[in-house]
Structure 1
Amino acid sequence: MLKPELNDRIARTNAGTPMGEVFRRYWIPALLSEELPEPDCPPVRVRLLGEDLVAFRDRDGQVGLLDAYCPHRGAHLFWGRNEECGLRCVYHGWKFDVTGQCVDMPNEPQESNFKDKVKTIAYPCWEAGGVVWTYMGPPDERPPHPDYEWLRAPKTHCFVSKTFEDCNYLQAVEGGIDTSHSSFAHNNNLRDKKALRSRATAPKLEVHKRAHGFTYVGIRDIGEDGLYVRAYQFVMPAQQMRGYMTNWSTGEPEEHPSVNGHIWVPVDDEHCVVYNWMYSADPNHPLPREYCIEHETLFGRGPSNSLPGYRLIRNKSNDYLIDREVQRTMTFTGISGINTQDFALQETMLPIVDRSRERLGSTDAAIIVARQLLLEATQDVAAGRAPRGVDPATHRDVRGCDRILPRGVAWQDGLANELATRF
């Protein structure tokens, strides 16, 4: 269990909160590059950490991320004209560049220098891996850009998507790093007793704190075939890495072995956006786009599963289209899509879970350690120290993987090759 005051400390991320200040010490995703497809394209609404913002790509291709409200009279800059390396407010014509500097003020006398004195809030942006990243913290504490392996993979080997989730970021993170629930919530064939996760529903967890966050493994005893071991990475403040190298049902190698993961980014205290990324585990093996779309569809977040705004068709308003007959005869949940199954459970909890009422078991070890590290990060930031994982050197060489190992082989040895980065 977690005391209410500590629960609030790590769950709430709006401006001025301890965890909000932690997120503001990292580069975090703001939107996908595809949302700003070309110079001078329409601006996009963005909401991050409780702040309303507007993103635009200027004529030179640079991305700006500005306070959504014009500093003149508070008009929303989403209505602005994106023109000649600036976003122009349509109320009185004030124009701002990607740094937030006002560069034109046509409703003031020509000889006036007032525009030189006006600057709106603007956050620096950087693009990599199909994502526009931003840093929202103190300028003098801005860290180097992140260096995750998936950001170094070539475009032919990598895929990224995003999904809006109607819940607090922390319950989404905790769902993602919970390895035992896959034997239940994601059991999509109750008749298949040979599937790896059906054969061993109570994995043994090991969690090891690292400079980037922690490494954790779920070890499942699958009898005479050995041990199914899945190694994950939790990268501060809210990223999970895992491997899809072994087919869950057959135990055979995947056709397109990959490393996958999520980054959960708070929109505000009660909503988040999930960035879903995957890349080939082998530099010599590109990741076909059709395979990526098939994977996304299996998870329930493919193009055919989604509404505008990156929201799922199956959602809280229609009970995720649960089929009770399918639940009775075929699957554990009766809900189609692995991602959708997670959302159904996470979005229908309390807006912010009351963790003081929980009773945690041995398979919740990763969740317990994640909470410890988040609380530690709030203490570090309050004391003026950089939180864990900010330095790219701490996360540059980590990845996730899974494999069936013979008995007697330590996972550190048996997975050493798969855990080694290739890009």
Structure 2
Amino acid sequence: MLKADLNERITRTDVGTPMGEVFRRYWIPAVLSEELPNPDCPPIRVRLLGEDLVVFRDSNGDVGILDAYCPHRQAHLFWGRNEECGLRCVYHGWKFDITGQCVDMPNEPPESNFKHKVKITSYPCWEAGGIVWTYMGPPQAQPPCPDYEWLRAPESHRYVSKTYEDCNYLQALEGGIDTSHSSFAHNNNLQDKNALRTRATAPKLEVHKEDHGFTYVGIRDLGDDGVYVRAYQFVMPAQQMRGSMTNWSTGESEEHPTINGHIWVPVDDEHCVVYNWMYSADPNHPLPRDYCIKHETLFGRGPANTLPGYRLARNKSNDYMIDRENQRTKTFTGIQGVNTQDFALQETMRPIVDRSKEHLGSADAAIIVARQLLLEATRDVEAGEAPRGVHPESHRDIRGCDHILPRDVSWQEGLAGELVARF
């Protein structure tokens, strides 16, 4: 369980909240690059950490993130004209560049210098890995841009998507770092008793704190066949990395071994956006596009599975299209899509979970440590210190993986070469 005051401390992310200030010390995803396909394309609305923003790509191809409301009369800049290296409010014509500086006031006299005195809130942007990243914290605390391995992988080896989720970021994140639930919620073939996670439903967890966050492994005893070890990385403040080299059912090597992960970005206290990424585990083998679409479809977030706004077609309004007969005879949940199964459970816990009512066990070790690190980060920021994992050297050389190992080989020995970046 987590006391109510501590639960409030790490779930609330608006301006001035302890956890909100933590998120504002990191570079976080703002939008996918595909959402701003061309210079001077239409601006888009974005809400991050409780702030209403507008994002646009200017005539030079550079991206700006501004306060959504014009400082003149508070009209929303989503309606603005994106033209000639600036976003022009359509109410009175005030125009702002990507730094937030007002560069034109056509409703003021030509001799007026008023425009030089007006600047709207803006946040720095950086584009990498198919994502526009932003930093929303104090300028003096701005860290270098992140250097995750998946950002260094070439476009031919990488795939990125996102989904909108109707719950607080923390319960979504905790679902991602909970390895034991996959034996149940993601059991999509009740008849297959040989699936790795069906054969061993109670993994032993080991969690080791690191500069980037922590490394954790789920170890499943397969008897004479050895042990199935899945090694994850939790990167502060809200990213998970894991390997997908072994087929869940057969134990054979995947046709296209990948490293996968998620970043959970708070929209506000009751909503978040999940950035889903994967890249080829082998620099010599690109990631086929058709494989990526097949993977996304399996997870319920493929092109045919999503609605405008990156929302899942199977959602709370239609009970995630649960099929009770399918649940009785074929799958554990009766819900189609691995991602959809997670959303069904996470979104209906209530918008923000009351963790004072929980009863955690040994299978929840990673969740317990994640909460410890998030609380640690709030204290570090309040003390004027940089939180864990904010600098690139802490995370640039890590990756996740999974393998079946002989019983007499420790995971540290067996996975030593697999947990190191290759790009």
1:186 Cα deviation from its structure 2 partner: 0.1
The aligned residue for residue 313 of structure 2 is: 313
Query: CA offsets per residue over residues 71-128 of structure 1, 9 Å max, x none?
Result: 0000000000000000000000000000000000000000000000000000000000
Question: 5+ residue gaps in structure 1?
Answer: none
1:224 Cα deviation from its structure 2 partner: 1.0
SS of residue in 2 equivalent to 1:229 = strand
SS of residue in 2 equivalent to 1:65 = strand
1:202 Cα deviation from its structure 2 partner: 0.1
1:351 Cα deviation from its structure 2 partner: 1.4
The aligned residue for residue 138 of structure 1 is: 138
The aligned residue for residue 14 of structure 1 is: 14
The aligned residue for residue 90 of structure 1 is: 90
Normalising by structure 2, what TM-score? 1.00
Is 1:184 the equivalent of 2:188? no
SS of residue in 1 equivalent to 2:417 = helix
The aligned residue for residue 279 of structure 1 is: 279
Is 1:154 the equivalent of 2:159? no
Give the Cα separation in 1 of the matches to 2:314 and 2:253.
Answer: 31
Normalising by structure 1, what TM-score? 1.00
SS of residue in 2 equivalent to 1:416 = coil
Aligned length: 423
1:417 Cα deviation from its structure 2 partner: 1.7
1:165 Cα deviation from its structure 2 partner: 0.3
Query: CA offsets per residue over residues 42-92 of structure 1, 9 Å max, x none?
Result: 000000000000000000000000000000000000000000000000000
1:297 Cα deviation from its structure 2 partner: 0.2
SS of residue in 1 equivalent to 2:328 = helix
Give the Cα separation in 2 of the matches to 1:412 and 1:77.
Answer: 53
Letter in 2 for 1:347: E
SS of residue in 2 equivalent to 1:181 = helix
The aligned residue for residue 329 of structure 1 is: 329
Give the Cα separation in 1 of the matches to 2:294 and 2:14.
Answer: 36
Give the Cα separation in 2 of the matches to 1:70 and 1:227.
Answer: 59
Give the Cα separation in 2 of the matches to 1:149 and 1:63.
Answer: 23
Is 1:413 the equivalent of 2:419? no
1:282 Cα deviation from its structure 2 partner: 0.2
1:408 Cα deviation from its structure 2 partner: 1.2
The aligned residue for residue 269 of structure 1 is: 269
Is 1:206 the equivalent of 2:206? yes
The aligned residue for residue 391 of structure 2 is: 391
Give the Cα separation in 2 of the matches to 1:228 and 1:408.
Answer: 13
Spell out the pairing of 1:222-261 with structure 2 (5 A cutoff).
Answer: 222-261=222-261
Give the Cα separation in 1 of the matches to 2:234 and 2:264.
Answer: 12
The aligned residue for residue 174 of structure 2 is: 174
The aligned residue for residue 220 of structure 2 is: 220
Give the Cα separation in 1 of the matches to 2:247 and 2:321.
Answer: 27
**4+ residue runs over 6 A deviation:** none
The aligned residue for residue 50 of structure 2 is: 50
Give the Cα separation in 1 of the matches to 2:353 and 2:247.
Answer: 33
Give the Cα separation in 2 of the matches to 1:374 and 1:240.
Answer: 14
Give the Cα separation in 2 of the matches to 1:420 and 1:373.
Answer: 23
1:416 Cα deviation from its structure 2 partner: 1.2
Give the Cα separation in 1 of the matches to 2:192 and 2:27.
Answer: 43
Give the Cα separation in 1 of the matches to 2:60 and 2:351.
Answer: 41
Give the Cα separation in 2 of the matches to 1:292 and 1:44.
Answer: 26
Letter in 1 for 2:152: R
Give the Cα separation in 2 of the matches to 1:415 and 1:333.
Answer: 33
Letter in 2 for 1:307: L
Give the Cα separation in 2 of the matches to 1:302 and 1:308.
Answer: 13
Give the Cα separation in 1 of the matches to 2:117 and 2:408.
Answer: 69
Spell out the pairing of 1:72-111 with structure 2 (5 A cutoff).
Answer: 72-111=72-111
1:350 Cα deviation from its structure 2 partner: 1.6
Root-mean-square deviation (CA, aligned residues, Å) is 0.4
The aligned residue for residue 24 of structure 1 is: 24
